Amino acid sequence: MKEVVLSTSGLFGSCLRYIDKRLEPFKKSGAVATCLADVDGRSSLAISLKSGAHKVASAIVDAIADIVITDCKFHYIETTLKLPIEDEINRHAFIRALTGLDRATDLALAKSLIKLTPNFLLDSFYTFSLDTLKSRWQEVCALANDNACFLICDGTFRELLRFLISNLESREYEVHLFGRDGGVEVLSRTLKPVNVYVNDELSADAQVVSKLIALAPKRIFLHQDINPVMQEFVCNLFGSCVVINN
């Protein structure tokens, strides 16, 4: 293939920007050229492969697989879960924690299901090609829904959320949180922006929670100017992992 066009009707619009960003090293080397476009409510990313087509195609598959086990899985659980969790951030955190379960297996399955074509429709792929993964995700949702009355008890819910997070695969040993312009910036051990995919259409607080749960760090350093509500939430969620540096 000399060109690949990825498109979506909007549900995964931000994913195209992420894929484009993942291809940045190839663009700098001249291996590919890309073009993002929005026409009549449909977003597309055209990728012209100039050299190293196999490596570029592999990078595209890796990026799509990452989206499948983050946004697609989150969307499926969010629309299937029936737990009446009223607090938006708690609900988001719970779904994000469920999304992170068994990430390695989900990732391997996702990659095996992606058959890259010159015109790859993300929405159709989500609807028709993920039955194997969706059956796994459905089992998790069914278990949670069947035990809804027990799970929504305040103490039980909080303990379950902590348990889920503590059992996620850690992708970053240490992160640092700084208050910036009324929001929170999540930085790596070297104080650089963390390298993790998060839907940029989420609220600022939801993005912070998503990053922390996706990374499941062993140490979280809270620095100055963190919103007190967010600070309390992070402390409650990650417990002994949190170090406060004010």
Q: Are residues 154 and 220 in the same domain?
A: no
Residues 148 and 211 in one domain: no
Q: Which of 121, 148, 164 is a domain's end point? A: 164
Integer angstrom CA distances of residue 94 from 104, 115, 161, 224, 240: 19, 31, 6, 27, 19
What's the DSSP call for residue 170?
A: P
- pLDDT for 98: 94
Predicted confidence at residue 1, as pLDDT, reads: 66
**pTM of this prediction?**
0.86
Sign of dihedral through CA atoms 220, 94, 84, 67?
positive
Considering the domain architecture, whether residues 110 and 178 belong to the same structural domain is answered as: no
pLDDT at 227: 82
pLDDT at 84: 84
Look at the chain and report how many structural domains it folds into: 2
Q: Are 8 and 22 in contact (CB under 8 A)?
A: no
Judgement on whether residues 23 and 108 belong to the same structural domain of the protein: yes
Do 38 and 81 lie in a common domain?
Answer: yes
Both 196 and 79 in one domain: the answer is no
Domain identity same for 37 and 85: yes
Taken in order 7, 13, 15, 21, is the CA torsion positive or negative?
positive
Q: Residue 119 in 3-state DSSP?
A: strand
Cα separation, 199 vs 58, in Å, equals 22
pLDDT score of 114: 95
- What's the order of all strands across the beta sheet hosting 219-222? 183-187, 174-180, 219-222, 242-244
Q: Are 237 and 165 in contact (CB under 8 A)?
A: yes
Quote the domain boundaries for residue 49.
3-164
From residue 126, how far is each of 11, 22, 74, 153, 232 by CA, in Å?
10, 20, 12, 33, 36
Q: How many Å separate Cα 102 from the centre of its chain?
A: 14
pLDDT at residue 130 in the model = 94
Out of 137, 164, 191, a domain closes at: 164
Rounded to whole angstroms, how far apart are CA atoms 5 and 182? 38
Pair 113, 200 in one domain: no
- Amino acid 120: pLDDT: 94
Same domain, 185 and 135: no
Give alpha helix (H) positions in 81-216: 88-100, 103-113, 122-128, 131-146, 148-151, 154-166, 204-215
Please list the rounded mean pLDDT of every run of 10 residues in the chain (246 residues).
86 83 90 88 89 88 93 92 84 91 94 94 93 96 89 79 89 90 87 81 85 92 85 89 84
